[in-house]
Amino acid sequence: MFQIVRKQEMAKGTIIRFDINAPKIAKKIKAGQFVILRVNETGERIPLTVADKDEFAGIITIIFQVVGKTTALMRSLNEGDLIKDVVGPLGKPAHTDKIGTVIMVGGGTGVAILHHVVKAYKEAGNYVISIIGARDKEMLILENEMSQISDELVVTTDDGSYGQRGFVTDPLKKYLDERKDIKQVYAIGPIIMMQNIVKLTKKYEIPTMVSLNPIMIDGTGMCGGCRVKIDDTTRFCCVDGPDFDGFKVDFDELLNRNSLYIKEEKDSLLFSIK
Ligand code: NAD
Ligand code: FES
């Protein structure tokens, strides 16, 4: 059993942060890796990339958006409550070598995952420019935390209620036009955002890593649920990823596969709150 030691509601209560006591995972987990969590004996398995860790306190931080039955159930948990299983670290760590100036882009809840990866890039000695975006001011998360670990931070909101108006791709394009020292772009967020970032960076020939989140079940390479097409080859995101070379990802197939169960997810959420 794993205890929730801190709970914080963010973004109008639709995004939740849990600090969970998990000393063995906190000791081993690296930026970009994820855990699979099961709330109770009969619960479904939810993959969540870790947003931060405190190795000495034995704590991992997860930040999730309430979208279906299980995440709604998780929101009802409070500090002191126990989670049945937390399995990890899973997946491959992000490559965070020292390469120079990097642009790190996060959209929506993707900023939570980006946070851990930015920390690692910064610790490796890179010059880190972060761009984070949200629909509006209230949906923006981790601005202070991101500003502390980035050399430069740009914030966008779709409606212009805070920061620059527009998508994260707008300041990214500006940086790519103005600076010639960008060695890599790293992106995490909605699939359409990552797809559009890759379309842009391809034109500038800037290597781009993306962190994918296909449907996952076992998280250990057994079920094939998380298959993604990379350079026309099938790869399993849970063991071969979640980070991949963005230029090689078949985003259209990923979009199709991820939309397969949207109706069932909504139905199960509605059923659970009736
Ligand atoms: P969102 O729809 O609020 O978008 C967040 C930001 O992404 C926007 O503010 C914008 O800057 C950018 N963006 C959105 N559409 C874009 C476009 N067409 N072109 C360029 N930039 C664009 O994001 P959300 O509600 O947090 O997430 C939506 C989906 O993303 C969910 O289905 C979620 O599962 C998925 N997601 C994936 C990951 C991941 O691991 N890759 C992480 C978080 C969320
Ligand atoms: Fe089953 Fe990856 S989640 S193979």
86/130 same-domain check: no
The answer to whether residue 255 is domain-embedded is: no
Domain boundary among 90, 114, 131: 90
DSSP state of 84: S
52/124 same-domain check: no
**Which of 45, 218, 244 has the most ligand 2 atoms within 8 A of CB, as the residue to mutate?**
218
59/32 same-domain check: yes
Whether the CB of 248 sits within 6 Å of ligand 1: no
Q: Which residues 6+ apart lie within 8 Å of 101 measured at CB?
A: 126, 127, 129, 179, 181, 182, 183
CATH number of the structural domain spanning residue 27 = 2.40.30.10
CATH number of the structural domain spanning residue 194 = 3.40.50.80
Distance 161 CA to ligand 2 centre (A): 39
Structural domain for 49, as ranges: 2-90
**Which of 158, 165, 243, 254 has the most ligand 1 atoms within 8 A of CB, as the residue to mutate?**
158
Distance 229 CA to ligand 2 centre (A): 14
190/138 same-domain check: yes
68/133 same-domain check: no
The answer to whether residue 273 is domain-embedded is: no
Predicted confidence (pLDDT) per residue in 97-127, tens digit: 999 999 999 999 999 999 999 999 999 999 9
**Who has greater pLDDT, 170 or 270?**
170
Ligand 1 nearest-atom number relative to CA 49: 40
Distance 90 CA to ligand 2 centre (A): 11
Distance 42 CA to ligand 1 centre (A): 30
Number of domains, the chain: 2
Predicted confidence (pLDDT) per residue in 164-223, tens digit: 999 999 999 999 999 999 999 999 999 999 999 999 999 999 999 999 988 888 888 999
Domain boundary among 207, 233, 266: 207
86/108 same-domain check: no
Domain boundary among 40, 60, 90: 90
